[in-house]
Structure 1
């Protein structure tokens, strides 16, 4: 005869506590995506829940970025009072379908929960607990204080992906696939974090998901991405090519040596000097084209929608890099900028700069302008 008094624990099933849709709604209204308890279980209750429209379309693993991809990130409690832990546990089971409750009743509960979680919510954010950390991040000429808070729901989502990856790796290793096929499933290292102390449940229902951590090598700097970011925000320096500048200087010295210390003003000499100056202009324009290619190669790594940041206010440099930024007056402005740079160019302590009067600079500016059109 079967012993009907056998407990749920002995039968391998957990008790399902009967709660109403109102019970689930009341608890769900105070659930959060980010909780201070994950930093310090003794910190004052503090947490933030994002509303359904807070998604952010960027290529990162974060709560907001996953929300734009249609992922529902599990929420957690900030205070475990009364039946809160049990209700939240059952909310997660209802959301995942891991229950054997009446379908109609479950759908009623899920509707109440979804309605409660659709809006934003924050708790305990009026002040910062001394048990939390703060980071000062630059914003313009000032700083903004940030208190990083972990997300148990994001940890759970990452763990799901990790487990799926490990399962695929296991299947690949057991298969008869070629080694290069199995190499498509790299082996990841995992570690365990002691979050929560002796009673992890005080941190939250998702604390055990937060205890699993992926181990990686420290990120290595990518000089190409760093250079692209520098161009995006600061542009490039308008540098004059030393070789072309030296060729122009040598031509001037030779012309003066052959003509009694003066450069002739006949058409042949003017055309020769014009060609040398335009070669300098072309070299500067090529610098901009090179910067544009570098930005194009790293377009997916750049923030925002434009190749150049709005922080870059120099119109001449913007146009030098991106021809789409060139207005009607840009060639003239570019010619004047390069002419000033040529007039101030130093060939070293012994040679110094080439003394040019205003008329000469105007002529050089006009030649550069012609090259830029």
Structure 2
């Protein structure tokens, strides 16, 4: 037995349709402060992915839902939807009611609307997304599902996913794969307290999480943090410095006075120091290749128009010191007054760093030896 139609004044329908929305923060957390958003036609996009905005751009229209008033609005919104669907249950609706509903919904679909956007409730998640020209380089975004598009995909009878899965039963796994769905208790035991479309949101698609790409993660680490020249971390830089340190120790044991070191020993020192510079440059070359491979994914924070063709810098403008930026992106070496000299000083400083745990350094130099080492490294970096 169908429910009895409850008549409302036309003005009541107009007031309710003015406040209907596509997005409702209560679907994220029913205890969160209300945020309701309705997109207007100007929000439509023409992009190759599925969202409310792109589907609006494709000429589709979607049901609106109540946000303000909770379950108290369920009855009148249900009648609005019955009239729009020309359902038999709406046979007792008066002509004035029908007109008010149709005109009200048309006006709502033609305009944007929002409520409760003054602040973000602590119960709602926030994501920091890189954005050019934004203070600090990021904007905060709060993801909310557009309940309005969920019936298109998940309605138990007409949704695309249930229809697809029903057809998959009749075909082989190779021809049509069944789409897995999760079960979310959105809205709790009485979903209409949150909205009339919530039941369609309770069976979203369930997919396996993508595996983390180590190379992509490393590329982003290089972009945002630079190349960590850690002399205490295993790798060619440490090995080259250890070899040089052992050489110095052997030479100074035999002759503590560096002023009498033979030409043969001096030549050997230059070879070992050049090997340190080469180790750093080899590490940088591998990092440069990784950054180039992932250039299409990296943030576009700084355009280099002087290049032919112009491209974006492959290291964040926030990376310091500037020598590291130049090490990873040679196009940026002009930012330093004398990049080879600055890079040599930086490399020597890294070579002398003590271990965080033991406090011991691989290499110890007096001021004269340090200047000599920097001069040899400068030539290696030219």
TM bracket, shorter-chain basis: 0.5 to 0.7
- Cα offset, 1:203, TM superposition: 3.0
1:178-257 counterparts in 2 under 5 A?
182=175, 186-196=177-187, 200-217=191-208, 220-240=211-231, 241-256=237-252
What is the total number of aligned residue pairs between the two structures?
Answer: 334
CA contact (8 A) 2:20 2:66 kept: yes
- Give unmatched runs, 5+ long, in structure 1: 1-6, 10-14, 95-104
Map of 1:47 onto structure 2: 36
Distance 2:256 2:124 in 1: 73
Aligned to 2:20: 31
Structure 2: which 5+ residue stretches go unaligned? 87-98, 130-134, 232-236, 302-311
Q: Conserved in 2, the CA contact under 8 Å of 1:49 and 1:120?
A: yes
Matched, 1:115 2:105: no
Q: What SS is found at the alignment partner of 1:204?
A: coil
Partner of 2:150: 155
- Does the aligned pair in 2 maintain the 1:27–1:88 contact within 8 Å? no
- Deviation sequence 1:161-219 (CA, Å, 0-9, x none): x965776677678668xx8x64xx65432234444456544432322221212334466
Are residue 342 (structure 1) and residue 335 (structure 2) matched? no
Aligned to 1:316: 323
Aligned counterpart, 2:305:
none
SS at match of 1:212: coil
The CA distance in 1 between the partners of 2:149 and 2:318, in whole Å, is 33
* 1:24 and 1:112 in contact (8 A); partners too: no
Distance 1:258 1:40 in 2: 75
Cα separation, 1, equivalents of 2:77 and 2:249: 88
Deviations 1:21-47 (A, max 9, x none): x99876554232321342466877542
| Contact 2:25–2:35 (Cα < 8 Å) also in 1 | yes
Cα distance, 1:257 vs structure 2: 5.9
Alpha-carbon shift at residue 312 of structure 1 (Å): 2.6
Aligned to 2:80: 87
The answer as to whether partners of 1:55 and 1:67 remain within 8 angstroms in 2 is: yes
Q: How does 1:37-76 map to 2 (within 5 A)?
A: 37-39=26-28, 46-49=35-38, 75-76=64-65
Residue aligning to 2:307? none
Task: Name the CA distance, whole Å, in 1 between partners of 2:151 and 2:65.
Answer: 11
Q: What whole-Å deviation, never above 9, does each CA across 1:279-300 have from its counterpart, x for those lacking one?
A: 1112112222222333344445
Report the more deviating stretch, 319-328 or 144-153: 144-153
Call closer, same or farther: CA 1:260–1:203 in 2, change over 3 Å: closer
